[in-house]
Every structure is written in structure tokens, then in C-alpha cells.
Amino acid sequence: MQALIDRIRSEGKILPGNILKVDGFLNQMIDTALLDEMGREFARLFASDGVTKILTVEASGISIACAAAFNMGRIPAVFAKKHSTLNQDPDSYSARVFSYTHGTEYTIRVAKRFISPDDRILLIDDFLANGEALGGMLEIIRQAGAEAVGAGIAIEKGFQEGGERLRAQGLRIESLAIIESMDGNSVTFRS
């Protein structure tokens, strides 16, 4: 998606450890026009898949998931929580996820009442690198007996193994921007 690629080129910052910082338009301050365009593109890409719910992991995927859900006919968007809270539903699906960016392992949780075996779920996330978040969400879907129709990713780091590995396992992944390589000053995108 050219608008996203252009924003990454103009405003993205490459940090040590192959981390791409896009907080000025996607992860902290959100460009809502770009977000809507991304949501419309995911709705177009998965229009014929009968998606009943969207699943993401807090926090950066939530806005993208909501934009996609709204543009897919205002279907529900569900997010897996990373942190336990006092009011958390104890009857939950859970999976362990390692965050490369934070260098931390989380247990993500979704209350069982939010996902049913009848659901056809689209996974949405801001980044795909090693595939840990998608793997955790797939585990939750498996526990629920639901079906994953695919994954919509804003930015995929194509030089890391997550996308290739998950595609080889049969998961359909549609990424709006795939980064082929990054160095201290520039980002190269897959054609």
C-alpha cells in the first residue's frame, strides 16, 4: 500500500536491533486518514472470506483492527490482553508470546465468551517479524475451535522468518508493506 510505504520512508526511524519506529503515525500518534485507508484495504483483501470477528493483541494492533472491523461491516474486534487485571475473566483462552521489541514474554488472554467455534477470525497486527504474536493468536483460535481465515499485517519485516514460516504452515498473510531490508539510513521494500 503506497500511502503506508511513503509514510514509513518519510517518518519511520530505524533503531538498533532492526526496530522500525513508526510512532508518529501508527503506534502512538495515529493518522486516522491513513488508518481508515488501511482498514478499507484489509476489508477489500478479505471481502470474500466470511470474517465474523477480528483478533489482535494489545496495544498497537487495536486501532488497525478497529478500522478493519468497521470497514468489514462493523464486525466485532477482539483484542488479547497482555497483562492480568483484577477484573479479568478467569474463563479465558491463553497463549505465551515473546515480544521481540520489548524483549519480554507475555501470556496473552481472551475471555472465552468472545470467541466461539462458529467464528471465522481475521488476525490483524501492526508488525510481523518473527511471528510470535500471530502464533499466540492462532493458539487461542485453536483452543476456541474457531477458524483463522488469514492475517492482515500493516508492516512485515520480510527479512525475518515469521512470515515465511507461517505461510509455509498454510496461513494466508496479506501485508500492506513488506520490508526487504533496513540499514541505519534507509528501508528497502519488496516489490
What's this model's pTM, rounded to 2 decimal places?
0.95
CATH number of the domain bearing residue 122: 3.40.50.2020
Domain for residue 99, yes or no? no
Domains held by the chain: number: 1
- Per-chain mean pLDDT for the chain: 95
Domain that holds residue 150: 2-80+115-189
Domain for residue 150, yes or no? yes
Over residues 145-154, the pLDDT tens digits come to 999 999 999 9
The reported pLDDT for the residue numbered 113 is 97
Segment 82-89 shows an average pLDDT of 78
The reported pLDDT for the residue numbered 116 is 97
Domain for residue 151, yes or no? yes
Instruction: Give me the helix-helix angle, 32-45 and 2-11, nearest 10°.
Output: 140
Q: How many residues are recorded in the chain?
A: 191
For residues 140 and 110, the answer to whether their CB atoms sit within 8 Å is yes
